[in-house]
Amino acid sequence: MQSGIDIIEVSRIGELVKNKRFLHRVFSKEEIAYCSGKKNSAQHFAVRFAAKEAIWKAVGNRKLSHRDISVKNDEHGKPAAVLPSNLEKTCRKLCISLSHTKSFAVAVAVLNE
Ligand SMILES: CC(C)(COP(=O)(O)OP(=O)(O)OC[C@H]1O[C@@H](n2cnc3c(N)ncnc32)[C@H](O)[C@@H]1OP(=O)(O)O)[C@@H](O)C(=O)NCCC(=O)NCCS
């Protein structure tokens, strides 16, 4: 079993996502739509950024970029990791959990191998 964790200041990501190049380099279209539709969108962007870092740590594949990793919520709001199709088996073994406040966003990823 491998794991990863990341914590980030919401204000830092809130500033960065104002830059369209950063936004599209880091987040998928689906993530942008999800976060933009929320009242406190910076918190949702920040927690996804933290999730990408936590997942990267758990998976341990240095070639993965932020854009290769994304987060998808099911109909109950529960988040899951999405990885490129060649890592489908790894993706199925990944569990993530996210939490955010006005100031901080935190994500944990566990790879059950
Ligand atoms: C879903 C819930 C847990 C979110 O908790 P919260 O304190 O409001 O918010 P947090 O910042 O900690 O977590 C938000 C994240 O939780 C995740 N989440 C939402 N629904 C979820 C679910 N059903 N399962 C797991 N994670 C969930 C999401 O990733 C969300 O962030 P996102 O929208 O950016 O993806 C909460 O709204 C809820 O339903 N609580 C009920 C808990 C309860 O019944 N407790 C009784 C036993 S202790």
Ligand 1 centroid–CA 62 distance in Å is: 30
The pLDDT of 8-19, averaged and rounded, is 98
Ligand 1 centroid–CA 77 distance in Å is: 7
Reply yes or no on whether the pLDDT at 32 is more than 90.
Answer: yes
CA distance 81 to 109: 9
Instruction: Name the amino acid, one letter, at 84.
Output: P
Q: Provide DSSP, 12-29.
A: HHHHHTTSHHHHHHHS-H
Q: Where are the domains of the chain?
A: 2-111
Write down the mean pLDDT value for the chain. 97
CA distance 12 to 67: 18
Classify domain 2-111 at the CATH superfamily level: 4'-phosphopantetheinyl transferase domain (3.90.470.20)
Nearest-CA residue for ligand 1 atom 21 is 78
